[in-house]
């Protein structure tokens, strides 16, 4: 079987959604880049039942190259993100509660906390609404992800990108925590946001943050 280790990592990532509070049931999807395409979770299969052979191998064109099951209905934005972002090697999409709640207001997350820079800029954008599984949703998500490693999807959830599956999952967790903090801050008062100059400085510091050289 091709790409066995990556298949196992994708399944491990998907199974972590519920324990980490990132979603329930079969909500969300996971993919990993391979040469000339990507592997993605299938549509409608409970994560606890997933086996390596269930994952769907897709070409960069979106054609199915291997697997007996249908790919996730969101395969289009996985395909288009990989095409637009050569550095991205893993994508995690979840319906985490706080990020989704904010996405249902059709607002992004501004620089109320310096950790917003974890997504690559001075905000976490919210892509305008489009029906799930459509090319319109994919196109809007790709635009919202320009120079970012995460975005919200209006009335839907969040997308997180990474150089590998652990880093993409970490971004998803960070965004969910930020969404929770932003929600709570708004209950008390309108949060004070950091300026663009300060956020540019923080984004620069984050480029090498945590890299120990070992």
Mean pLDDT of the 119-146 span: 98
Report how many domains make up the chain. 1
pLDDT at residue 207, rounded to an integer: 79
Mean of the per-residue pLDDT values of the chain: 95
Whether residue 214 lies inside any domain: the answer is no
Within a 13 Å sphere around the CA of 76, how many CA atoms are in the beta-carbon half?
14
Whether residue 175 lies inside any domain: the answer is yes
Whether residue 115 lies inside any domain: the answer is yes
Whether residue 101 lies inside any domain: the answer is yes
Whether residue 38 lies inside any domain: the answer is yes
Residue 163 contacts residue 87 (beta carbons within 8 Å): yes
Whether residue 29 lies inside any domain: the answer is yes
Distance, CA of 94 to CA of 157 (rounded, Å): 6
Report how far apart, in Å, the C-alpha atoms of 85 and of each of 11, 21, 102 are: 23, 28, 26
Whether residue 211 lies inside any domain: the answer is no
Distance, CA of 79 to CA of 62 (rounded, Å): 6
- Give the domain extent around 80: 4-206
Taking 60 as the threshold, does the pLDDT of residue 210 lie above it? no
Whether residue 111 lies inside any domain: the answer is yes
- Catalytic positions are 74
Q: Can you give the pTM of this predicted structure?
A: 0.94
Taking 50 as the threshold, does the pLDDT of residue 212 lie above it? no
Q: Look at residue 72 and give its three-state secondary structure.
A: coil
Q: What is the pLDDT of residues 167-199, one digit of tens each?
A: 999 999 999 999 999 999 999 999 999 999 999
Taking 90 as the threshold, does the pLDDT of residue 208 lie above it? no
* CATH number, residue 137: 3.40.225.10
Distance, CA of 203 to CA of 211 (rounded, Å): 15
């Amino acid at each position: 079987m091709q790409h066995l280790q990556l298949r196992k990592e994708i399944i491990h990532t998907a199974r972590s959604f519920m324990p980490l509070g990132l979603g329930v049931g079969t909500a969300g999807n996971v993919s990993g880049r391979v040469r000339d395409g990507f592997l993605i979770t299938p549509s409608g299969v409970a994560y606890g039942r997933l086996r390596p052979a269930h994952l769907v191998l897709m070409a960069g064109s979106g054609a199915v190259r291997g697997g007996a099951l249908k790919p996730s209905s969101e395969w289009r934005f996985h395909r288009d993100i990989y095409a637009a972002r050569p550095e991205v090697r893993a994508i995690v999409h979840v319906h985490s509660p706080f990020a989704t709640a904010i996405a249902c207001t059709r607002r992004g997350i501004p620089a109320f906390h310096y950790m917003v820079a974890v997504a690559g800029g001075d905000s976490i954008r919210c892509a305008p609404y489009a029906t799930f599984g459509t090319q319109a949703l994919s196109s809007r998500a790709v635009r919202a992800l320009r120079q970012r490693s995460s975005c919200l999807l209006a009335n839907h959830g969040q997308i997180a990108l990474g150089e590998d599956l652990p880093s993409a999952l970490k971004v998803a967790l960070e965004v969910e925590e930020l969404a929770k903090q932003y929600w709570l801050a708004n209950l008390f008062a309108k949060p004070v946001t950091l300026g663009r100059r300060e956020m540019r400085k923080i984004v620069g510091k984050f480029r090498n943050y945590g890299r120990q050289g070992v």
